């Protein structure tokens, strides 16, 4: 993702879509198309609108898209983007029914497409491109690759990093839903290949097995230092904490199991955002 | 949304899954009818209708022989806190002659993104206990949605799991029906534990668990009434994710689940405890804030209120305006000690609005800690603790 990447926004005329399209443009994002069924032929601040993602791709060579379509129709919008062959799909929408997402995952099988989210702040390469909703004030260009399960918590962590002069190469929110596209395990090799990224920051939380799987990969041998913060240390067992994936699943996914797995893989685990800064500075 | 046992069983019945004969009661009136429905020889088991596992151990289930005993059991159960919960109603059911207990469930495996059937012939305990005591008895079967449950495969699986030969067909039928419920009701979890094998070799779902995907409730009007009976679901409709954390003294109001969790952890580190988790991500409007602040001000156990927000989508000046408007609907001032930390989009404006109204507000976590510690200390000194 850089300032040349050609981006389309699905739902560009909606309340969130229009507000954040302007903020994405401010960040430097190269938005070349909007997609709104029945509004094809119109434009948004000079950006042409198409009825379908396929049309947008054919007319504007769209490479990536951000989806701001309301929950009830968002899965269909993701499916349309997959059918149109868009390589990176950032699904911002929150509240998509899980059974809809099961269908999306079926469709994704065998495709070389990165779905980010849903229920994610998206991804950002500071001052170059943003496919999402993160507050720009928290981000600076730099050398830390950040991946996170929670939007708000990643803002907090990146804000602390930026204040300490630790900018970011790319920040990716994998999303808070149980069924989602890319996971930490998919992103680790990408950050490893990226020459700009010198260290990785994992922003995790209780529930799911993403952190444990990341730990397995890192343990096999990873060439860059990794720091992790896990939210939910003081959570009572068995309560779903807002994110539907933050349900403790069959004994896996507890705070302890995540911390143990990550530490065992040589990851420095910290409890509070400030400590993340110290840990990264000591490793760089 | 989790359903109560009797609500799940009503759905099971409609899908042809056998459940014990039973009646729901709010108090002991109606016991005579219950006896007539259940039959004298099988009367009865009284079960607290609360949303928690381990009811038996917590005093939520009683076996009774007569109407008198049942009446006493109902009042005992309703006066006992079952894992912190009060049972408004009980389910009184026939007693089963148990030969064996199986375990069946379908849930979504986040690893494979597939609905997954779990079966064990060692039912009756929690799945965690089964997993601990006899992990080899649990058999897993990923369901490929377009194909559904393939009967030959499920029969083979049930056989490996140790299901009795004569019952393989009936188990397969129950699994098929469970999967129908799972798909049609858009469940995230459906479970029968135990699935009882009676002395006359009949299968019967002695307990039932069913969780419906909150995100899908908009297309299931059949659950509207249930939704309206739940405080957390009503708050959800206003855009607030609310979780009662049990004991604690701090009410949290944050944006984002991760942020709320971090704040909960910080409060614990600062020597206090959160009473409730409130993520207002989708309720950034007057209605949402009014509902949230009304709850925070009226919930007796909440002594302090901590607002911690880092806005991406949400703008802090809007937050501040809604907060003040919402407070006006309660009184002149928010009635409890409250501190705020506002950061992110339009934070500066938000901070100055709240400061002008006379509330303690900051932008950084360290400041929040200092103010929070000062506040709890002052209160403790004031109350002589």
Claim to verify: residue B53 and residue B158 sit in the same structural domain = no
A205/B257 Cβ within 8 A: yes
Claim to verify: residue B197 and residue B267 sit in the same structural domain = no
B258/A135 Cβ within 8 A: no
B183, B259, B309: residue with CB nearest A150: B259
Return the pLDDT at B345: 83
A151/B312 Cβ within 8 A: yes
> How far is it, in rounded angstroms, from Cα B1 to Cα B213?
6
Residues 6+ apart with CB under 8 A from A147: A171, A172, A173, A174, A184, A187, A191, A200, A201, A202, A203
Beta bridge partners of B304: B250
Q: How many CA atoms lie within 13 A of B47 on its CB side?
A: 27
- Average pLDDT estimate for A228-248: 66
Q: Which residues of B touch A96 (CB under 8 A)?
A: 215
> Which helix (H) or strand (E) covers residue A258, if one does?
helix A255-264
* Interface test mutation site (partner B, options A16, A23, A101, A135, max chain B beta carbons within 10 A): A135
Domain termination residue (choose one: B47, B74, B94):
B94
Segment 215-254 of chain A within 8 Å of chain B by CB: 231-236, 239-246, 249-251
Residues of A carrying an active site annotation: 243
Return the pLDDT at B256: 87
* Interface test mutation site (partner B, options A18, A68, A123, A152, max chain B beta carbons within 10 A): A152
> How far is it, in rounded angstroms, from Cα B40 to Cα B94?
9
Q: What is the pLDDT of residues A66-115, one digit of tens each?
A: 999 999 999 999 999 999 999 999 999 999 999 999 999 999 999 999 99
> Which helix (H) or strand (E) covers residue A168, if one does?
strand A168-173
Return the pLDDT at B112: 86
Residue B37 located in a structural domain: yes
Smallest CA–CA distance from B53 into chain A, residue: A238
| Calculated CA dihedral for residues A25, A31, A32, A33, nearest 10 degrees | -110
**Number of domains, chain B:** 3
- A141 in B contact zone (CB under 8 Å): no
Claim to verify: residue A156 and residue A81 sit in the same structural domain = no
Claim to verify: residue B190 and residue B319 sit in the same structural domain = no
Return the pLDDT at A92: 96
B268, B281, B344: residue with CB nearest A234: B268
> How far is it, in rounded angstroms, from Cα A15 to Cα A30?
20
Higher local confidence (pLDDT), A249 or A185: A185
Claim to verify: residue A160 and residue A221 sit in the same structural domain = yes
Q: Give the Å distances, CA to CA, from A69 to A17, A55, A100, A104, B199.
A: 8, 17, 14, 15, 55
B256/A98 Cβ within 8 A: no
Return the pLDDT at A246: 42
Q: What is the pLDDT of residues A16-40, one digit of tens each?
A: 899 999 999 999 999 999 999 999 9
Claim to verify: residue A15 and residue A76 sit in the same structural domain = yes
Smallest CA–CA distance from B131 into chain A, residue: A250
A72, A176, A231: residue with CB nearest B262: A231
Q: Look at the block and give the residue holding tokens 């995100």.
A: B215
Domain containing A67: what range?
1-118
On whether the CB atoms of residues A67 and A39 are closer than 8 A, the answer is no
Segment 67-96 of chain A within 8 Å of chain B by CB: 71-72, 94-96
Higher local confidence (pLDDT), B146 or A50: A50
Angle at A72 between CA A66 and CA A77, to 5 degrees: 35
Claim to verify: residue A51 and residue A95 sit in the same structural domain = yes
> B34 burial class (0-12, 13-18, 19+ CB within 10 angstroms)?
buried
Smallest CA–CA distance from B185 into chain A, residue: A99
Angle between helix axes B257-269 and B365-382 (nearest 10 degrees) is: 50
Q: What is the pLDDT of residues A173-215, one digit of tens each?
A: 999 888 999 999 999 999 999 999 999 999 999 888 899 999 9
B260/A242 Cβ within 8 A: yes
B215/A155 Cβ within 8 A: no
| pLDDT tens across the length of chain B (385 residues) | 899 999 999 999 999 999 999 999 999 999 999 999 999 999 999 999 998 777 888 899 999 999 999 999 999 999 988 877 889 999 999 999 999 999 999 999 887 889 999 999 988 877 777 777 877 888 999 999 889 999 999 999 999 999 999 999 999 999 999 999 999 999 999 999 999 999 999 999 999 999 999 999 999 999 999 988 888 888 888 889 888 887 889 999 999 888 999 999 999 999 999 999 899 988 889 999 999 999 999 998 999 999 999 987 788 999 999 999 999 998 889 999 999 999 988 899 999 999 999 999 999 999 999 999 998 887 777 655 4
Return the pLDDT at A226: 98
Instruction: Single out the residue of A70, A30, A75, A71 nearest to residue A181, CA to CA.
Output: A75
A106/B145 Cβ within 8 A: yes
- Asked whether residue A122 carries a pLDDT value surpassing 60, the answer given is yes
Claim to verify: residue B270 and residue B366 sit in the same structural domain = yes
- Asked whether residue A243 carries a pLDDT value surpassing 60, the answer given is no
Q: Which residues of B touch A274 (CB under 8 A)?
A: 365-366
Residue A75 located in a structural domain: yes
**CA end-to-end span of chain B, whole Å?**
40
> How far is it, in rounded angstroms, from Cα B93 to Cα B80?
20
Q: Which residues of B touch A159 (CB under 8 A)?
A: 310, 343
E strands, B273-337, are: 274-279, 304-311
Number of A–B residue contacts, CB under 8 Å: 166
**Number of domains, chain A:** 2
A231, A236, A274: residue with CB nearest B245: A236
CATH number (domain holding residue B41): 3.30.1490.20
Q: What confidence category does residue A247 fall into, taking pLDDT thresholds of 50, 70 and 90? A: very low
Claim to verify: residue B244 and residue B377 sit in the same structural domain = yes
> B287 burial class (0-12, 13-18, 19+ CB within 10 angstroms)?
middle
Q: Which residues of B touch A240 (CB under 8 A)?
A: 243
Q: Give the Å distances, CA to CA, from B302 to B245, B284, B337.
A: 11, 22, 10
Claim to verify: residue A218 and residue A114 sit in the same structural domain = no
Return the pLDDT at A250: 47
Return the pLDDT at B384: 52
Q: What confidence category does residue A128 fall into, taking pLDDT thresholds of 50, 70 and 90? A: very high
Instruction: Single out the residue of A137, A115, A118 nearest to residue A127, CA to CA.
Output: A137
Residues 6+ apart with CB under 8 A from B145: A102, A103, A106, B114, B115, B183
Claim to verify: residue A269 and residue A165 sit in the same structural domain = yes
Claim to verify: residue B210 and residue B246 sit in the same structural domain = no
B128, B262, B366: residue with CB nearest A251: B128
Smallest CA–CA distance from B52 into chain A, residue: A238
Return the pLDDT at B130: 77
Claim to verify: residue A148 and residue A40 sit in the same structural domain = no
> How far is it, in rounded angstroms, from Cα B91 to Cα B81?
17
Domain containing B302: what range?
239-382
DSSP-assigned states of every residue in B34-65: HHHHH-GGGEEEEEE--S-S-TTTTT-EEE-S
Return the pLDDT at B245: 84
Q: Which residues of A touch B108 (CB under 8 A)?
A: 98, 102, 178-179
Residue A209 located in a structural domain: yes
A279 vs chain B: nearest CA distance in angstroms? Answer: 18
**CA end-to-end span of chain A, whole Å?**
24
B113, B261, B269: residue with CB nearest A105: B113
Domain termination residue (choose one: B74, B94, B114):
B94
Q: Which residues of A touch B268 (CB under 8 A)?
A: 233-234
Claim to verify: residue A191 and residue A101 sit in the same structural domain = no
> Which helix (H) or strand (E) covers residue A135, if one does?
none
């Amino acid at each position: 993702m850089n300032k040349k990447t050609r981006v389309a926004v699905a739902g560009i005329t909606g309340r969130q879509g229009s507000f954040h399209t302007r903020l994405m443009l401010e960040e430097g994002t190269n938005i070349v198309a909007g997609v709104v069924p029945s509004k094809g032929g119109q434009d948004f601040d000079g950006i042409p609108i198409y009825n379908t993602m396929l049309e947008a791709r054919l007319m504007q060579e769209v490479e990536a898209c951000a989806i701001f379509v309301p929950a009830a129709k968002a899965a269909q919008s993701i499916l349309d983007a997959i059918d149109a062959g868009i390589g990176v799909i950032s699904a911002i929408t929150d509240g998509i029914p899980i059974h809809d997402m099961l269908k999306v995952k079926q469709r994704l099988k065998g495709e070389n497409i990165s779905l980010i989210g849903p229920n994610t702040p998206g991804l950002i390469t500071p001052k170059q491109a943003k496919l999402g909703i993160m507050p720009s004030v928290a981000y600076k260009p730099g050398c830390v690759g950040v991946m996170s399960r929670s939007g708000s918590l990643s803002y907090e962590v990146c804000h602390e990093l930026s204040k300490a002069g630790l900018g970011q190469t790319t920040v990716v929110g994998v999303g808070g839903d149980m069924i989602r596209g890319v996971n930490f395990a998919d992103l680790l090799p990408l950050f490893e290949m990226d020459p700009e990224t010198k260290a990785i920051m994992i922003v995790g939380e209780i529930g799911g097995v993403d952190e444990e799987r990341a730990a397995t990969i890192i343990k096999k041998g990873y060439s860059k230092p990794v720091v992790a913060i896990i939210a939910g240390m003081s959570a009572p067992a068995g309560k779903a904490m807002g994110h539907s994936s933050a349900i403790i699943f069959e004994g896996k996914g507890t705070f302890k199991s995540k911390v143990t797995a990550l530490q065992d893989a040589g990851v420095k685990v910290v409890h509070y955002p400030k400590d993340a800064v110290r840990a990264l500075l000591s490793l760089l | 949304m989790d359903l109560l046992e009797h609500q799940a069983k009503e759905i099971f019945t409609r899908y042809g899954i056998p459940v014990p004969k039973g009646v729901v009661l709010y108090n002991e009136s109606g016991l005579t009818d219950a006896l007539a429905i259940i039959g004298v020889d099988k009367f009865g088991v009284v079960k607290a209708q609360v949303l928690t596992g381990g009811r038996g151990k917590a005093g939520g289930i009683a076996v009774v022989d007569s109407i008198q005993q049942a009446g006493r059991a109902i009042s005992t159960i309703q006066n006992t806190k079952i894992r912190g919960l009060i049972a408004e109603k009980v389910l009184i059911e026939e007693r089963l002659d148990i030969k064996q207990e199986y375990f069946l469930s379908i849930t979504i495996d986040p690893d494979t993104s597939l609905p997954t059937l779990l079966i064990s012939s060692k039912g009756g305990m929690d799945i965690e206990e089964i997993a601990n005591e006899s992990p080899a008895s649990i058999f897993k079967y990923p369901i490929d949605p377009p194909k559904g449950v393939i009967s030959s495969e499920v029969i083979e699986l049930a056989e490996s799991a140790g299901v009795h030969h004569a019952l393989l067909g009936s188990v397969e039928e129950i699994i098929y029906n469970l999967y129908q419920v799972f798909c049609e009701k858009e469940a995230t979890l459906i479970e029968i534990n135990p699935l009882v094998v009676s002395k006359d070799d009949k299968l019967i779902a002695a307990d039932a668990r069913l969780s419906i995907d909150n995100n899908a409730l908009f297309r299931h009007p059949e659950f509207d009434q249930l939704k309206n009976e739940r405080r957390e679901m009503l708050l959800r409709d206003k855009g607030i994710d609310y979780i009662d954390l049990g004991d604690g003294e701090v009410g949290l109001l944050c944006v984002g689940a991760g942020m709320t969790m971090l704040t909960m952890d910080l409060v614990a580190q600062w020597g206090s405890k959160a009473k409730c988790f409130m993520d207002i991500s989708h309720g950034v409007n007057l209605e949402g804030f009014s509902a949230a602040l009304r709850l925070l001000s009226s919930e007796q156990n909440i002594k302090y209120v901590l607002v911690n927000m880092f806005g991406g989508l949400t703008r802090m000046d809007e937050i501040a305006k809604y907060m003040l408007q919402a407070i006006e609907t309660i009184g002149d001032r928010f009635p409890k000690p409250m501190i705020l930390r506002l950061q992110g989009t339009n934070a500066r404006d938000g901070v100055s609005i709240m400061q002008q109204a006379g509330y303690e507000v900051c932008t950084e976590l360290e400041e929040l800690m200092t103010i929070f510690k000062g506040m709890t200390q002052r209160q403790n000194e004031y109350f002589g603790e």
